[in-house]
Amino acid sequence: MEAGKKKTTLTGALMKYGLPLVVTVGLCWLMFRDIDFAEMMRIIRRQCDFRWIALALALSVVSHVIRAFRWDIQLKALGIRAPKHVLIYSIFGTYAVNLVFPRLGEVWRTGYVAQRQQAAFSTVFGSMVGDRLADTVTVALLLLLTFGLASGQLMSYLSQNADLYARLMGLLTSPWLWIAIAVTAGAAWWFMRMKASPTSAAGRLQGFVKGLWRGFAVLATMKGKGAWLLLTVSLWGCYFLQFYVAMYAFPFTADALSRYGVICPLVAWVFSSIAMGVPSNGGIGPWQWAVIFGLGLYGVGQTDAAAFANLVLGTQTLLLIALGIITFAGIMLDKKKLTPKTKN
């Protein structure tokens, strides 16, 4: 029994942390296999205007602060009033933790805020799920917009890769995909409707799911929905501006921007946003692949696109590490202030 439990725990740990590491290393190997690394570094050293990269990094910090302010609206609707600096720390820390343990950053920020404000973990977690689901919906809408604006370039690419097009259509039209979705939805509905003792495993799981739902459903009933929507637009506008201004850092991306206008960075940026959903350490690997593919649709060479993608993500990663160090130092100081001093 104990051996089986240890085996399950080990398997879960490997799936959580081992798989993302394998994906990251594998995609990086595939990316650099066909790229002249020395030439890529030469392009970065000789052609990059780092002032634009610095501006992109500044916008990145602003976007994290906006996300913290947006989450604050959701938490207040649930009766959780956290200081702004705590929420900013939680966002900075999330991205830093995700660099080492993919997807664990969201759990960390939930636990940090729940413990700091003495709130229910499931409720805070539900608000975080609502926060991330809003991002998913935003990316889906941007993807539809991008497909509409860049249909010519995408169809041209698919026409040159008939096998890929056939596999994609085969997956989307497969009845087994839709049957699996329907069965999963039906099983979830049945589980939540069945009566279970609150002390049983099923009852505790139902209670946890209801707590998640409460945290998520607050999006529809909370006060300040207008401010929340404005912050959402500002957040994603900041994300896009980061990518947009970074394209001025290199002559070849600035040229593509001049020739094709805003559609070029929009396509590459949306693809990179989707790639962040692939399990990897901080998006390393999938993000560069997506950017290289997106820029390639507009005539940017593979080595040039790799230089751009690796520099942008590399500097963002260094920024997240720096913010993570600042965050955990700040949390330690915050804990000392909250700890009552004992008299001798």
Domain ranges of the chain: 37-338
Q: Of 336 and 138, which is predicted with more confidence? A: 138
- Residues 259 and 75 sit within 8 Å (Cβ to Cβ): no
For residue 23, pLDDT over 60 is answered with no
Q: To 10 degrees, the CA torsion angle through 93, 91, 116, 131?
A: -140
150 burial (CB, 10 Å; 0-12 / 13-18 / 19+) is: buried
55 burial (CB, 10 Å; 0-12 / 13-18 / 19+) is: middle
Considering only CA atoms, which of 212, 58, 231, 224 is closest in space to residue 135? 231
For residue 120, pLDDT over 60 is answered with yes
- Alpha helix stretches (DSSP H) within the chain: 2-13, 19-33, 37-47, 50-77, 84-100, 104-117, 121-149, 151-159, 162-172, 175-193, 201-221, 225-246, 251-260, 263-275, 286-296, 302-338
For residue 306, pLDDT over 70 is answered with yes
What's the residue count for the chain?
344
Give residue 151's region: left, alpha or beta (phi > 0; psi -120 to 50).
alpha
Q: Which range in 11-20, 59-68, 77-86 is most confidently predicted, on average pLDDT?
A: 59-68
Whole-number pLDDT of residue 63: 96
Cα 4 to its chain centre, rounded Å, is: 34
Q: Sign of the C-alpha dihedral, residues 145, 147, 150, 152?
A: negative
What amino acid occupies position 245? V
For residue 104, pLDDT over 90 is answered with no
Whole-number pLDDT of residue 288: 87
Whole-number pLDDT of residue 17: 45
For residue 237, pLDDT over 90 is answered with yes
- In this prediction, residue 343 has a pLDDT band, given cuts at 50, 70 and 90, of very low
For residue 53, pLDDT over 90 is answered with yes
C-alpha span between 291 and 124 (Å, rounded)? 33
C-alpha span between 69 and 57 (Å, rounded)? 19
Whole-number pLDDT of residue 130: 83
Whole-number pLDDT of residue 12: 47
Q: Of 5 and 137, which is predicted with more confidence? A: 137
- Residues 279 and 18 sit within 8 Å (Cβ to Cβ): no
C-alpha span between 82 and 78 (Å, rounded)? 11
- In this prediction, residue 144 has a pLDDT band, given cuts at 50, 70 and 90, of confident
Rounded average pLDDT over 152-159: 60
Gyration radius of the chain's alpha carbons: 23
Rounded average pLDDT over 192-198: 72
pLDDT digits (tens, 9 = 90+) for 177-192: 678 778 877 877 777 6
pLDDT digits (tens, 9 = 90+) for 256-265: 999 999 989 9
